[in-house]
Amino acid sequence: MTQTLRSALGAHVLGWLIFLSLPLIFMTGPAEEDSITPVLLSPYYWLFNFTFLFVFYFNISFLIPRYFLKHKYSLYFTYLFILFSCILLLRPFDNLFSQMNRQPRFSERSSPPPPPELRPPPRFRPDRGTPPRQPKFGHLDMVSIFLFITVVALGLTIQIAQQWRVTEKRVVQAEADKATAELSFLKAQINPHFLFNTLNNIYSLAVMQSPNTANSIMKLSNIMRHVTDDVSEDFVSLSSEVTCIRDYIDLQKLRLSKNMHIDFSVSGNLEQKSIAPLILMTFIENVFKYGISNRHPAQITIKLKAAEKCIQFFCQNQIFETHRNTERTGIGLANTRQRLAHLYPDKHTLNISSENNLFTVGLTLQA
C-alpha cells in the first residue's frame, strides 16, 4: 500500500469516526451514566450514519465518475434528486432526535415517578387529545438536508481536486515522455552509427564524383535541423514530417543492396494537416533495422495517407534474424505508445502484428 493510499484511507477513517461521534456527543448528557448505550442500540442511529455514508460513497465512486466527469449533468442531477427525495422520506436526523427524546434518561429510570399531585398537568387539545411530538424543525428535516448538501459538496470537491491532480500529473508525465521519446530518437537515429554510415556513403559518392553528393549532404542537414528545431513543438506540419521521412529513407537507400525494394508512397492533401513530430520515425527506424538483408531479396512497404478526417500510416517488412540488441527498439515502441496516449487520447488506433514472418504496423490518427 502506497503512502498516498494510506493517507487517504486514514483521512476517510478519521472523518467517519468524527461523524459517528457527533450524535453521541450532542444527544447524551456528560454527567449521566450509561447514556451512550441507548444511542448505540438505536436502529435510527445506524440508519442516520449509514444513510450519509451511502450517499457519500455512492456519489464519489459511481455518480461523479460515470456522469459528472463525463459531462452527463442531467443524469447526475437526476440521481441526486432521487437521493434527496429518499432523504426527505427517511428523515434520518428527525427520527433519531425524536426517538432519543422518547427514551427516559438514566435519572428518570432510576427514580420513582413523582406523586400525581406533583406531576405537571398534561396539555390537551379538545379535538385531538394530547398532541403528538413534532420534529424540531417542522415538516422538513433541515439537519438531514444540510448534511446531504454538505456530503454531496464534499464528494464533488474531493473528486474534482483529485481529477485536477491527475490532469496535472498527466501533463507532467506527457512532458517527461516527450523528452524521453525525443532523447530515445536522438540516441536511436541520430547516433554516431547512423552518422558514420551516412557520412561514409556520402564520402564514397564524393570520391566517385557522383552528382548525388550535394543532395545527400542537404538531406542529412535537413534531418538534423528537423530533429533539433521542430521536435520542440507538440505538433508540426504533416508536410515537414513527410519531408524528414523521405530524406531519411533516401539516405538509408545509399547502403542498401539491389535486392532490396522500397515501396514508399504518400497520398492525400498534406496541407493544413499537423502531426506530433517523430511519432512515425520509430516504426520507420525498425523497418530498416530488421527488415533488410544483404543476402536475400526483400521488400519494405511504407504508406502514408492524409484523409479528410484522419491520417493513416502503414508499414510492413520481412523479419530477418539479427544479433542486434532489441532493447532500444522496445523502449522506442513503449515511448511511442505513451506519446500517442497523451497526445491523441481516444483519437488513435495502433495495431502491431508479427505474422507469417511479416512485421506490420497500422496507425490511424484522427485529425
Give the pLDDT score at 106.
46
Lowest mean pLDDT among 193-197, 254-258, 320-324: 320-324
pLDDT for the residue 81: 94
When mean pLDDT is compared across 45-54, 108-117, 125-134, 278-287, the lowest value belongs to 125-134
Cα(203)–Cα(197) distance, integer angstroms:
10
Q: Where in the chain is the domain with CATH 3.30.565.10?
A: 189-366
74-98 residue pLDDT tens: 999 999 999 999 998 888 888 877 7
Tell me what pLDDT residue 120 has: 55
pLDDT tens digits for range 324-345: 545 555 566 777 888 888 888 8
pLDDT attached to residue 337: 84
Write the pLDDT tens digit of every residue in 204-249.
888 888 888 888 899 888 888 877 776 667 788 999 999 989 998 8
pLDDT at 63 over 80: yes
pLDDT, tens digit (0-9, with 9 covering 90-100), for 258-273: 888 999 999 999 988 9
Whether residue 31 has pLDDT greater than 60:
no
Is the pLDDT confidence value at 256 over 60? yes
306, 292 contact by CB (below 8 A): no
Q: What is the CATH code of the structural domain delimited by 189-366?
A: 3.30.565.10
